[in-house]
Amino acid sequence: MLSGLSCLLFRLENAFYELAQAYYHHESRVVKAHRDHLNKTTHALLFVRHQFKVAFYNELKQDSHTALKHYRQAYLHLHELRITDYNLLEIKTNSCIVNFKICKLCFEHNTPLDAISQFRRHVDIYKSKIGTADLAFEHSAWMSKQFAVFGDLFEEAIRAGLTAIQTQHPGFYYQEAARYAIARKQLCRGLCPAELKYPASDPLAEADKMEYYGQRPWRQGHQSLEAPSVQKEREGIQALQYRECQVDHSWLVIPLLSSAIAQFKKYKSPRMKRYLVVQMGEEYYHAKDYSKALALLGRVTWEYRSERWWSILTNILQLSLRCAYLVMSFEEYVTVSIELMGRYAQVPREEKIRIQMNLHKIFQDEVPEPEHGCEHDSVEKGRALWTTISAGGKSRSPIVVEMNSITAFVECKACFTADSFLCESPVTVKLGLHSFAPMPIRFSQLSVRFSNEAYNQFGIVVDENAVDDPIESTSYLKPGQTLWHTFQFIVEQDDVDCNLSIAGVDLVLGSLEGCCATLRWTDGGGDAIVHPFATQVHRKKVALNADFSVVSWDVLPSNYSTHISPREANLDVQLLQKGPALVNEFYLMTVSITNTEVAQISNVRTSISVVTAVADAVATAQPNTFLYEDIDLPCSQLISMPLLEELKPNQKVDNVAYVRCVDSGARLMCIQVSYQIPIDISGKMSMCNCMKEITSSIEVCEPFNITVSLTNMKFEKIEKVQLGEAFLSRMEVKCLSPWPVALQGSSLNLAKLVKFADEESLSQLTDVSLKQNDCAVEFRCLLSSGQTPSEIDIGSYSIEWRRVQNGAAVPFASTTVSLPTVEAEPIPLSLHVDMPAYGHMKAVLPLTYLLHNQTPFVQDMEIAMESSEAFMLSGHKQLFFRILPDSQHILRYNLFPLFPGYVTLPRLRVNMVRYSGVLDQLLSSVVPTHIFIKPFEKKVSA
Amino acid sequence: MAVCVAVIAKENYPLYIKTLPNENELKFHYTVHTSLDVIEERIHSVSKNTNDLRELYLGLLYPTEDYKVYGYVTNSRIKFIIVIESTNATIRDNEIRSMFRKLHNAYTDMVCNPFYTNGDIIEST
């Protein structure tokens, strides 16, 4: 439904559109047809008119390109007309309209360069066409309008998506518009006398009902080169001048300036923006809105000052001073005066003297002289304001002038005479004041403020002399001279080891009781803005303790921060220890403190801490060194010793502490001792805090070298163990400690898959004492109980030990190594031999082989017992049998030894049919090959 | 002929400004000062884009109704600014260039003076 309606609307719209287009097309054809009958010499004016009409119809027809073409034609024809004083206004008015159309269409066609060049041509053509000299302001007004309108068009185009650049944007056009508006104002002032009367005949009466734009109402439709009536002409001009006088020009200029400011701000031109702000301030000044002007000018002075454009700054300040006078802004007046008297203000000396006299006057509660160049009636108002205040007898409230933000006539440099002071010696501050004023000046009070306000009392100088008394005194500053003040004081104990700085300097101008201004420097004054960049680079550094009176003011140092360092400690602190320490032991250290001061010291606090290098601290997240105040107490990284109430001169105290290190290497210990000592500071006894800090290094080494290896039951080294078969672990402990070490015992901490072969396995290293390079070895018999072949972890081995010399005072330390991991392999058949340790000649030696099938299958076995000449043998020589899964078969033999000594046993060959060949090697590590046979007893004859 | 010549320090404070004697000197101070906006912008855009040697001559900075302002920046960021009247159509770009080159040479000679400290106001006799 809805879509049907909109479809109908669309069709209706199109129908109307076509109708309208046809109509406008027709109309323009009519005009064109008419034009063909025209003759260029006689109908020059109509040529313009027709082109404009055609263009306008085309524009309505929405054919803007054709419209533009015809507008351009119209503009050309217009330009071809002969210009006289009498038709100039008409031509300018019309060209203004045509130009506006062209520029607008160019911007719409997105050809901004065409628009700009059209506008430039337009301005260049008419810039010099001023017309009647008496109405020159009209031309300026027209020019101003051209620029303002083009600026608006440009801005509109930007809003529609055009991008402008820093050197081509609407701001320039607004700025020009403002410039012409200012020119218009000046021309108006020059051309229109104030006593002008509006002519009685009222030549402008018809102005609203005129047939053609731009014609004079008093000679409508007149086309000749001469004026029809001189009298009428003069009255007309007079009427226009009268009207111009009624215009408030400043309110034309200010909006243009503010549009321009907004544009320049947008296109990153801060300086241009600032210049325009100054112009705006000037315009407000002309509009007699002095406080607004003062505020605007105050906003931009900072930048000109920091960029050191003194000429511009001086100009702004002079204007500000006038404004400040006229609105009686006491604070601004004083601030600006102070700056204008300064050395960078480019003001003649006489002017500076005048400013100083005025400044002097206002601090005497007198009325200052008015500034030059002000409007007469404004001066009267201003003077009245000043008079009522000074006559009222009320003092003005004191004001504060921030000196760091202006370039004043008096400069201040405060400096500590050293980069650091000892707490028992007085701190010295030198403060210099240098005046650039043209005449001597007296200040009533100088005060230095410190970061700790307690010392402010030491930094005050008061001058009691009357302000206009030319007596030389503590704060009477002559031009070009430097006045030095020195302040000294003793710091309090709380400030020791702190930074002390000058927070500010206050200088009071005017009497403290009456009207006064405080000139306030933050920090120690000096050269924040006054000596920027370049001059500081090549300046020679003046030593802080030099004689400042011979140094030029500009190169004087300013040093407004100092460090209060503590008194030097006079204490002998040592860390007594016999290195190296052993890893993991509680290592005893003794801190020995001897008082070498002249007086008794008190509140002695000692602390020990481990110094961790920065790189180490990152690398090892876990601390590797622990400090213990006593063995039973918990460990920490910093321990404090018990507080010592007092320590007499030459008295010595020892304190002990323990350190335990979990790895080898050097450690750095830091010992801090702080105490208090009474000292005499300029006749006053006071407690002074001192601190002594030493560092001492401790070497830490490993006590043992423990090597572990595995062997089979025949003590042969093995790389692999067999599942279910016992093996031996061999631990060799080599002592590396330079001191004898007593081993208390050792223990094996076995992993899950390993167990002791016997029920109990006792340490073989109990109560053994080792010297350096001694070795102790022990064996433990183990069994791997796993079922599957794998890498197995055996566990860890640790020994308990302590130094022999320490005795029972120190607990045992423990050193742990982890045992190797080995590969455990399964065997299909395990063979166990049961036989006595030795045999006797010609006595039966029973021998039992126990074969155990480790596989889950029935195994076919074949065995053969080889004969040996050393034995007679009974049992199966050769046998085939089967062993069920996980069951045993026992082979029993009785041997009868024939020879004594270490003889070879008869060899048993076992062969599994399934695993033929592999068993031989396997069994050879298990089956004993020899046995010792004891010979016959020798009968000792009685 | 140029109506104003200025030498501006690296930190944008004026080292030397000379205008025609009968002109409104302050106006040119403002003109020179505001042209620093454009110079700064150009220096920035160049140093951002390439590390190549920068052309010292910046050309026409911006046109005003009455004057044309030309700029030139040395490698040590000393700025030279010349203001020409817009009506003066006889001076071509080449002549401006040669004027800047002469100014640069004069500046170099002055810096070579051992009694001149860098950054001081230039005094011309």
Report the distance separating Cα A493 and Cα B35, nearest Å: 58
Cβ within 8 Å, pair A269-B29: no
- C-alpha to C-alpha distance for A96 and A347, rounded to whole angstroms: 46
Q: Are the C-beta atoms of residues A739 and A803 closer than 8 Å to each other?
A: yes
Q: Which residue in the set B14, B64, B119 is minimally distant from A535, CB to CB? A: B119
Residue A109 identity: H
Distance of alpha carbon A633 from alpha carbon A627, whole angstroms? 10
Query: Can you say whether residue A721 is alpha, beta or left, with left for phi > 0 and alpha for psi between -120 and 50 degrees?
Result: beta
Pairing of β A821-825 and β A795-803: unpaired
For the segment A732-759, the average pLDDT, to the nearest whole number, is 83
Q: Do A268 and B41 touch (CB under 8 A)?
A: yes
Q: Residue A333's closest CA among A347, A319, A346?
A: A319
Residue A125 has pLDDT above 60, yes or no: yes
Helices (H), A36-87: 44-60, 64-80
Confidence grade of residue A540 (pLDDT, cut at 50, 70, 90): low
Q: What is the pLDDT of residues A846-855, one digit of tens each?
A: 888 888 887 8
* Residues of B whose CB is below 8 A from A172: 62, 64
The predicted pLDDT at position A942 comes to 55
CA distances from A941 to A530, A935, A937 (A): 128, 17, 12
The answer to whether A820 and A782 have CB atoms below 8 angstroms apart is: no
Interface residue of B4, B7, B11, B13 to substitute, partner A, most A CBs within 10 Å: B13
> What's the CA gap between A176 and A189, in Å, rounded?
20
- Which residues of chain B does A173 touch, with a Cβ-Cβ cutoff of 8 Å? none
What residue in B sits closest to A169 (Cα-Cα)?
A: B62
Residue A655 exposure: Cα atoms within 13 Å on the Cβ side: 22
A152 touches chain B (CB under 8 A): no
Euclidean distance between CA atoms A369 and A349, whole angstroms: 17
Query: How many CB atoms within 10 Å of residue A393?
Result: 7
**Cα separation, A114 vs A846, whole angstroms:** 126
Q: Considering only CA atoms, which of B61, B101, B65, B107 is closest in space to residue B86?
A: B65
Name the minimum distance, in Å, from the CA of B33 to any CA of chain A: 7
Dist. CA A731–CA A751, nearest whole Å: 17
Structure tokens at A799: 């020994």
Q: Give the model's pLDDT for residue A212.
A: 80
pLDDT band at A528, cuts 50/70/90?
Answer: low
Per-residue confidence band for A532, with pLDDT thresholds at 50, 70 and 90: very low
Per-residue pLDDT tens over the stretch B53-107: 667 888 888 777 788 899 999 988 899 999 988 887 778 888 999 999 999 999 9
Work out the pLDDT band at A622, boundaries 50, 70, 90: low
High-pLDDT (> 90) share of chain B, %: 31
Query: How high is the pLDDT of residue B108?
Result: 93
Is there a contact between A812 and A584 (Cβ–Cβ < 8 Å)? no
Going by pLDDT thresholds of 50, 70 and 90, the confidence category of residue A115 is very high
By CA distance, what is A175's nearest residue in B?
A: B64
| pLDDT at residue A455 is higher than 60 | yes
Q: What is the pLDDT of residues A823-832, one digit of tens each?
A: 887 777 778 8
With beta carbons less than 8 A apart as the criterion, state whether A871 and A898 touch. yes
Which of B10, B61, B65 to mutate to probe the A interface, most A CBs <10 Å?
A: B65
- pLDDT of A862: 85
Paired tokens of A570: 């006079």
Highest mean pLDDT among A584-588, A646-650, A805-809, A889-893: A889-893
pLDDT value of residue A701: 85
Vertex A365, ends A363 and A367: CA angle to 5°?
A: 105
Q: Give dist(CA A327, CA A298) in Å, integer.
A: 14
| pLDDT per position as a tens digit, A325-346 | 888 888 889 999 998 988 888 8
How far apart, in whole angstroms, are the C-alpha atoms of residue A567 and residue A496? 9
pLDDT in the model for residue A469: 67
Over chain A, what is the mean pLDDT? 83
Using the Cβ of B30 and the Cβ atoms of chain A, whether some distance falls under 8 Å is answered with yes
Most confident of the following: A145-149, A426-430, B20-24: A145-149
B13 and A308 in contact by Cβ < 8 A? yes
**DSSP 3-state of A835:** coil
pLDDT(A514) > 50: yes
The CA distance from B30 to the nearest CA of chain A, in Å, is 7
Reported ipTM: 0.92
| pLDDT confidence of residue B100 | 93
Are the C-beta atoms of residues A656 and A590 closer than 8 Å to each other?
yes
What CA dihedral angle connects A836, A838, A839 and A845, to 10 degrees? 20
The answer, yes or no, to whether residue A485 has pLDDT greater than 90, is no
Q: Does the pLDDT at position A771 exceed 60?
A: yes
pLDDT at A511 over 90: no
A772 interfaces chain B, CB cutoff of 8 Å: no
